[in-house]
Structure 1
Amino acid sequence: MTTHTANAAEESLNHEKASLLKQPKAVWATALAAVFAFMGIGLVDPILPAIATNLDATPSQVSLLFTSYFLVTAVAMLVTGVVSSRIGGKKTLLGGLALIVVFASLSGTANDVGTLIGFRAGWGLGNALFVATALAVIVGVASGGASTAIILYEAALGLGISLGPLLGALLGGWQWRAPFFGSAALMAAAFIALVVLLPKTPPPAVKTSLKDPLRALGHKGLRTTASSALFYNYGFFTILAFTPFVLGMDAYGIGAVFFGWGLMVAIFSVLIAPLLQRLMGTTRTLLATLGTLALVLIGLAMAAERSVTGVVVLVVVSGALLGINNTLYTELAMEVSDAPRPVASAGYNFVRWMGGALAPFLAAKLGEGFGPQYAYLAAALAVVIGALVVLGGRKFLLTHEPATV
């Protein structure tokens, strides 16, 4: 690499860092609300064993708290564009937040696991309306371009995922219902912040139909990205939703482990992923991290019945790989096709959240029937398939990539 190229790369990095911090208040308000929304994903992690005990449920039954949430989220992604293109981004965000407040509160009142699963499904609907629209809103109003906006969004995701288990542990160690009410209170605060700080976002000139996200998946680059992300998310949510049952810890212990995991997700998504993209390119980096993640999952399979310390270390290490991958997948989904970003986001999220819906239940069933090592081995296989999908469709992804330095 020449001195001139190195200086140019350094200047570009400094410019991105500056633009990352100089954002309108509306961006910070939306990002903060996204932090609270993503906290809802990992919120139940530390209290999964407590829920199973208090509601007399098996691990696979409790895992349906994730499955119902993500299944509804995935399907609802197809209608988020229809809604936001008719009422505007701000009203869609507020509608999603309102639903989360209602169903998070109701979750705290459930007296049986079936009712709780139903309330989590309603929570997933609110999450879909908020999450898909939040990315489009941040990209639309952030300064510094789409790449900067995506880094902000992924930072919010990583921070939310890390704080969710911490909040779940702090409140859940006192009473297993408390995290649900705590999450509802945070989302209510986010609702008020967006009402005050986010300017009105008029509906786009062209209204989105239900078929548009599916049509967008006809683009080979976006279809490759979404298909690979489905298998990757299977591995992601096996780690998040199944590991609490393997650790054998109380809520505080589980919360501490996944707080460390989430911090790694946040740090590596914001600081390390862009650096690796510059050095290696998006596709090569994605293949390398997916391969390494598969090895970590195999390591978890080996440690699951032998060493809790080994499981803890590998879970935290996996957070680094997941953080990198989250940023790479999101950027590819937003940039690889010619579809409008909200439409591309809806189609991509519809496919990839299916992995999040399948993993918790299937991993728990494999763990109950054959042993925890098989749950992690299945996840490793899924991640390898995700890497093979990227490898097979790499020519459709490489056209998106800028030159490496």
Structure 2
Amino acid sequence: MSTHGTAHGHGEKPPSPFSQPRAVWAVAFACVVSFMGIGLVDPILKTLAGQLKATPSQVELLFTSYLVVTAVAMLVTGWVSSRIGPKRTLIAGLTLIVVFAAAAGSVNSISGIVGFRAGWGLGNALFIATSLSVIVGSASGGFAGAIVLYESALGIGIALGPLIGGVLGSISWRGPFYGVSVLMFIALLATLFFLPKMPKPARKQKLSEPLTALKHGALRTTSIVGFLYNWAFFTLLGYSPFLMGIDSPILLGLVFCGWGVLVAVFAVWGAPWLQRRFGTPRTLYVNFVLMAIDLAVIGVFPGNHVAVIVAVIIAGAFIGVNNTLVTTAVMSIAPVERPVASATYGFVRFIGGGMAPFVAGILVDAFNAHVPFLLGTATLIAAAIVLSTAHRALDAADRGEVAQPEPDALAAAEDADPFPEAATVGNAD
């Protein structure tokens, strides 16, 4: 057993996460492009609805098909990666994204785009789950630094996605899809040439492991928190463009670029500072409550364009902190190997993220625009309450007292229970 902590002490400055081998930067670049796909369609949602004669609920399926398929595919990523190796898994995921992003830009119906976004989601799952474990395994500066680098890529991708989507979308709604395909092809080449061949894991993962891992209280708790938080996150990301009163893809792209810049800044600098100063659980409690207030503003004033725009941009700060600290928490206190923890958490949180925009459209049609954002406010408060049940485990992780299972030890005991219950300090069952 080895011990890994997430923090370097409340007053000690951690090493820079930006001194990395070339292979890590290649994967990080691919992460940026991959995460661009999340917000890429935001600036063209209204354009798609108008030009393809679709309702907001139908357009929201662009998020749902992408994220729900990503979620379900997360369950098999470890099984695939442990058999063909991390590099081949990354390449397979990147190739699928290149193909399906281009295909999505080539069809003439919402249903066609939704279908190809689902294939894009499959590639995204293979890439996202594997890229996190590759960066954690290859990055210098320790585990916490690797998470910051990964979340930096997420933030930059989320910031650039809407901007590039807006610029290309002002030319044609097909432009953003073709743009991602080209950029991801560049990332594919960088991964092929710069990432060295990586050994296959010592133990082949079973298909059942990500779901079986939910029996552990610490991982189950943080995964539920991820579900609740991502419900609010993707309600805001998916439906707020319809409330801003902006028809220009470029202007919508600028709004979400401002939002994404705050995501990146607070993911890279804000979250680590707050974690050192106040600890993970306390920072997240306050952050969830502040983000809930922010969503409540949209829920109360959905017809006030300025209020919606300002609230969306400010939400980037809260989302940046949450993304870094919740991911760090999951990967730190889960009593299973990190690829399994990543797959389990990804499955649960992306189910929430995928369902939320579609449900938001249905709620608006059935009631009004107040309801989905007030529901998002409630899920954030619930996230803080659920997280409090893992308070001791999170504090222990901040002190560096959480033990992670070694892959070799698990390989030697493959026929035994691969998830020893004693693997965490303060497990919140």
Q: Under a length normalisation based on structure 2, what TM-score does the superposition of the two structures give?
A: 0.89
- Residue deviations 1:29-78 (CA, integer Å, cap 9, x gap): 10011000000111100000111111111000000000000100000000
Does the residue aligned with 1:209 lie in a helix, a strand or coil? coil
Deviates more, 1:49-58 or 1:369-378: 369-378
Give 2:50's aligned residue. 53
Q: Pairwise mapping of residues 26-41 of structure 1 onto structure 2 (< 5 A)?
A: 26-41=23-38
User: Any conservation in 2 of the 1:87–1:202 contact (CA below 8 Å)?
Assistant: no
Q: 1:310 to 1:207 in 2, by over 3 A?
A: same
Matched, 1:369 2:366: yes
User: Any conservation in 2 of the 1:336–1:400 contact (CA below 8 Å)?
Assistant: yes
Give 1:279's aligned residue. 277
User: Any conservation in 1 of the 2:221–2:387 contact (CA below 8 Å)?
Assistant: yes
1:369 positional shift: 2.3
User: Any conservation in 2 of the 1:222–1:332 contact (CA below 8 Å)?
Assistant: no
Deviates more, 1:324-333 or 1:215-224: 215-224
Q: How many residues align?
A: 392
Give 1:270's aligned residue. 268
Looking at structure 1, the residues matched to 335 and 372 of structure 2 have their Cα atoms a distance apart, in angstroms, of: 38
Looking at structure 2, the residues matched to 161 and 178 of structure 1 have their Cα atoms a distance apart, in angstroms, of: 17
Give, as a single letter, the amino acid of the residue that structure 1 aligns with 2:171.
Answer: W
Deviates more, 1:373-382 or 1:90-99: 373-382
Q: Pairwise mapping of residues 193-232 of structure 1 onto structure 2 (< 5 A)?
A: 193-232=190-229
Give 1:352's aligned residue. 349
Give, as a single letter, the amino acid of the residue that structure 2 aligns with 1:365.
Answer: I
Q: 2:252 aligns with which of 245, 254, 274?
A: 254
User: Any conservation in 1 of the 2:264–2:320 contact (CA below 8 Å)?
Assistant: yes
Looking at structure 2, the residues matched to 58 and 337 of structure 1 have their Cα atoms a distance apart, in angstroms, of: 41
Looking at structure 1, the residues matched to 9 and 147 of structure 2 have their Cα atoms a distance apart, in angstroms, of: 22
User: Any conservation in 1 of the 2:213–2:219 contact (CA below 8 Å)?
Assistant: yes
Q: 1:328 aligns with which of 325, 330, 340?
A: 325
Q: 1:289 aligns with which of 287, 295, 308?
A: 287
User: Any conservation in 2 of the 1:221–1:397 contact (CA below 8 Å)?
Assistant: no
Give, as a single letter, the amino acid of the residue that structure 2 aligns with 1:242.
Answer: Y
Looking at structure 2, the residues matched to 359 and 271 of structure 1 have their Cα atoms a distance apart, in angstroms, of: 28
- Residue deviations 1:155-200 (CA, integer Å, cap 9, x gap): 0000000100001000001111111001100000000001110010
Matched, 1:192 2:193: no
User: Any conservation in 2 of the 1:228–1:387 contact (CA below 8 Å)?
Assistant: yes
Q: 2:173 aligns with which of 148, 168, 176?
A: 176
Looking at structure 2, the residues matched to 267 and 396 of structure 1 have their Cα atoms a distance apart, in angstroms, of: 27
1:370 positional shift: 1.7
1:368 positional shift: 2.2
1:208 positional shift: 0.5
1:398 positional shift: 2.9
User: Any conservation in 1 of the 2:10–2:277 contact (CA below 8 Å)?
Assistant: no
Looking at structure 2, the residues matched to 260 and 88 of structure 1 have their Cα atoms a distance apart, in angstroms, of: 38
Does the residue aligned with 1:339 lie in a helix, a strand or coil? coil
Does the residue aligned with 2:145 lie in a helix, a strand or coil? helix
1:301 positional shift: 1.3
Q: CA RMSD in A?
A: 1.3
User: Any conservation in 2 of the 1:142–1:149 contact (CA below 8 Å)?
Assistant: yes
Give, as a single letter, the amino acid of the residue that structure 2 aligns with 1:326.
Answer: N
Does the residue aligned with 1:111 lie in a helix, a strand or coil? coil
Q: 2:381 aligns with which of 384, 398, 404?
A: 384
Q: 1:9 to 1:360 in 2, by over 3 A?
A: closer
1:255 positional shift: 0.5
- Residue deviations 1:204-251 (CA, integer Å, cap 9, x gap): 110001111122222211111100110100000011000111112121
Looking at structure 1, the residues matched to 10 and 209 of structure 2 have their Cα atoms a distance apart, in angstroms, of: 37
Does the residue aligned with 2:204 lie in a helix, a strand or coil? coil
Looking at structure 1, the residues matched to 179 and 90 of structure 2 have their Cα atoms a distance apart, in angstroms, of: 20
Matched, 1:133 2:130: yes
Does the residue aligned with 1:16 lie in a helix, a strand or coil? coil
Does the residue aligned with 1:38 lie in a helix, a strand or coil? helix
Q: Unaligned regions of 5+ residues in structure 2, if any?
A: 1-7, 401-429
User: Any conservation in 1 of the 2:294–2:311 contact (CA below 8 Å)?
Assistant: yes
- Residue deviations 1:256-275 (CA, integer Å, cap 9, x gap): 11000000000000101011
Looking at structure 2, the residues matched to 399 and 278 of structure 1 have their Cα atoms a distance apart, in angstroms, of: 13
Matched, 1:299 2:309: no
Does the residue aligned with 2:20 lie in a helix, a strand or coil? coil
Matched, 1:150 2:147: yes
1:8 positional shift: 8.0
- Residue deviations 1:287-344 (CA, integer Å, cap 9, x gap): 1100111111111112211x21111111111100000000011101111022111111
Q: 1:248 to 1:213 in 2, by over 3 A?
A: same
- Residue deviations 1:332-390 (CA, integer Å, cap 9, x gap): 11110221111110011111111111111011111222221111101111111111111
Looking at structure 2, the residues matched to 86 and 207 of structure 1 have their Cα atoms a distance apart, in angstroms, of: 6
Give, as a single letter, the amino acid of the residue that structure 1 aligns with 2:124.
Answer: N
User: Any conservation in 2 of the 1:217–1:348 contact (CA below 8 Å)?
Assistant: no
Looking at structure 1, the residues matched to 362 and 9 of structure 2 have their Cα atoms a distance apart, in angstroms, of: 52
Give 2:394's aligned residue. 397
Q: Unaligned regions of 5+ residues in structure 1, if any?
A: 1-6
1:9 positional shift: 5.8
Q: Pairwise mapping of residues 156-171 of structure 1 onto structure 2 (< 5 A)?
A: 156-171=153-168
Deviates more, 1:133-142 or 1:367-376: 367-376
Give, as a single letter, the amino acid of the residue that structure 2 aligns with 1:287.
Answer: Y
Give 2:73's aligned residue. 76
Q: Which has the higher helix share?
A: 1
User: Any conservation in 2 of the 1:55–1:111 contact (CA below 8 Å)?
Assistant: yes
- Residue deviations 1:106-152 (CA, integer Å, cap 9, x gap): 00011111111110000000000000000000000001111000000
